[in-house]
Amino acid sequence: MTLRIGCIADDFTGGTDVAAAFRRAGLRTALVFGTPDDATVLPADCDAAVIALKSRSTPADEAVADSLTAQRWLWAKGAAQIYFKYCSTFDSTPHGNIGPVTDALMDAAGTATTLHCPASPPNGRTVYQGHLFVHDQLLSDSPLRHHPLNPMTDSALVRLLSAQTRHKVALIDWATVRRGVEAVREAVVTHQQSGVRHIVADALTDDDLAVLGAAALELPVVAGAAGLAEGFGHAYPATGPAAPEPLPREGRAAVLAGSCSARTLEQIAQFYASGLPSLHLDVLAAASGRDVIGEALVWYDGQDAGLPVLIYASASPEELAAVQAQLGVAEAAAQVEELLGTLASHLVERGVRRLLVAGGETSGAVTTALGVRAVLVGQEADPGVPWTYAATKTGDLALMLKSGNFGAPDLFTRTLAAPAEVAR
Ligand code: ADP
């Protein structure tokens, strides 16, 4: 059995999200963290492999180089098609990285056309007339306009992507998508003939994405969020049940949160309101040299081992602005990632075996600190939020890596408070 789909995701939780989508589509899926090398080993018999890069907010030339390395590695493993996964809220700047990376992957594959669709209907992301919606709001009216690294203040995808590529960008509208796979294929050919390189497609439902996925089966490079990946995965014939999952049934449970997204703030509030132990990290104090990690570990050691704990740096938009004004955006982010990565290592050493991490950048910092390179993708707790399983020096670890805005408000308590729930 060889690999069918090779996927490159532009951040760590995005990788988890898209890997879960391939698994839902019936594909046995591995998730690899960071640029793979000769020592990176995939679980046997994978249908799909997702390489989760940290290329969403890096300079465009670095993002391109890492993505091309991942593409070559996936091709060497036999991947027939490359799926470039970016955020369902199209997180990027006017300079990239979605346009430059897609162009580079297409050049390497020798292809002149690709299809884009960031829609992810289970998470409320839809595309209509080329405009990206987050539930009932345009992207530019949603809380994403306040994102700490990629504030999104425009919703028009053709315009957003045109700013990131020198090539032509055009739309396949919903009326065409509703007419089915053949209509979309014809529209792709028509766009191809008029020199369009990036085709953005509307999608409101999973059925629309199934149509787009089937229509994209012949394209060497396809780009979008997890929704299109699932449509794409369903277009491949199924290969049987996933491998058994090495769920740790013992050990402590913890949440580490670095996301400042609205949903993560709700999840933190819900955890706190449930009476479970939670600790806020003082980022400014850490930056001024106080031993915030040592204090957090003393606090952790004093908690009831039977209860999950939450340690968070996450801040409201006002608090975040204040910290960033004092430290600068990059230094503030570096402080938070250092704090949470180091704490993750200490917590696992102290016996945490179920670890939930909130935030894309934060998840990258945590897996790097733990030395976790690849995981098997397991069952989802909420759409786009699966448990994953990793072997570490200290034993099997269940990791949940959550994009800031993902998961229901009670995700933390529901998944961690009762081990029996996780074991189901
Ligand atoms: P999301 O998935 O919600 O985008 P990320 O972890 O990717 O979450 O990004 C959140 C960003 O906010 C990170 O760069 C993190 O370092 C930063 N951050 C979190 N808490 C604070 C804080 N208290 N002060 C300053 N920056 C913070």
CATH number of the domain where residue 302 is located:
3.40.980.20
Of the residues 173, 200, 234, the one at which a domain ends = 234
CA nearest neighbour of 116 among 171, 155, 71, 164:
171
Residue nearest to atom 16 of ligand 1 (CA): 333
Q: Is there a contact between 57 and 149 (Cβ–Cβ < 8 Å)? A: yes
Of the residues 201, 234, 267, the one at which a domain ends = 234
Mutation probe of ligand 1 site: the residue of 87, 267, 268, 362 with most atoms within 8 A of C-beta: 362
267 lines ligand 1 (CB under 6 A): no
- Per mean pLDDT, which range of 39-43, 165-169, 310-314 is the poorest? 39-43
Distance 336 CA to ligand 1 centre (A): 7
> What domain count does the chain have?
2
The more confident residue out of 391 and 275 is 275
Q: What's the average model confidence in pLDDT over 242-248?
A: 67
Q: What's the average model confidence in pLDDT over 111-131?
A: 96
223 lines ligand 1 (CB under 6 A): no
- Per mean pLDDT, which range of 63-67, 146-150, 184-188, 309-313 is the poorest? 146-150
Give the position, in ligand 1's atom list, of the atom nearest the Cα of 324: 25
pLDDT at 190 over 90: yes
CA Rg value for the chain: 21
356 lines ligand 1 (CB under 6 A): no
Q: In this structure, is residue 239 part of a structural domain? A: no
337 lines ligand 1 (CB under 6 A): yes
Residues 129 and 188 grouped into a single domain: yes
> Residue 22 contacts by C-beta under 8 Å, 6 or more apart in sequence?
5, 7, 29, 47, 48, 50, 229, 230, 233, 377
What mean pLDDT, rounded, does the chain reach? 92
Which residues constitute the domain of residue 330? 252-423
259 lines ligand 1 (CB under 6 A): yes
Distance 320 CA to ligand 1 centre (A): 8
Q: In this structure, is residue 199 part of a structural domain? A: yes
Q: What's the average model confidence in pLDDT over 4-13?
A: 92
148 lines ligand 1 (CB under 6 A): yes
CA torsion, ordered 327, 328, 333, 334, to nearest 10 deg? -70
Residue 269 is predicted with a pLDDT of: 98
What percent of the chain stands above pLDDT 70? 96
> Residue 77 contacts by C-beta under 8 Å, 6 or more apart in sequence?
2, 3, 6, 42, 49
361 lines ligand 1 (CB under 6 A): yes
Q: In this structure, is residue 247 part of a structural domain? A: no
Residue 39 is predicted with a pLDDT of: 81
The model's pTM: 0.83
CA gap 310, 358 in Å, rounded: 10
pLDDT at 422 over 60: no
What percent of the chain stands above pLDDT 90? 75
CA torsion, ordered 385, 15, 395, 42, to nearest 10 deg? 130
Residue 1 is predicted with a pLDDT of: 56
Peptide bond into 405 cis (omega under 30): no
pLDDT band for position 249 (cuts 50, 70, 90): confident
Distance 261 CA to ligand 1 centre (A): 8
87 lines ligand 1 (CB under 6 A): no
374 lines ligand 1 (CB under 6 A): no
Give the position, in ligand 1's atom list, of the atom nearest the Cα of 402: 2
Mutation probe of ligand 1 site: the residue of 17, 147, 336 with most atoms within 8 A of C-beta: 336
Residues 101 and 206 grouped into a single domain: yes
Residues 290 and 156 grouped into a single domain: no
Q: Tokens representing 104? A: 């580079």
Q: In this structure, is residue 245 part of a structural domain? A: no
pLDDT at 420 over 60: no
Q: What's the average model confidence in pLDDT over 74-97?
A: 93
Of the residues 234, 268, 298, the one at which a domain ends = 234
Residue 196 is predicted with a pLDDT of: 98
276 lines ligand 1 (CB under 6 A): no
Residues 322 and 353 grouped into a single domain: yes
CA nearest neighbour of 208 among 186, 178, 234:
178
Query: Residue 208 sits in a domain of what CATH number?
Result: 3.40.50.10840
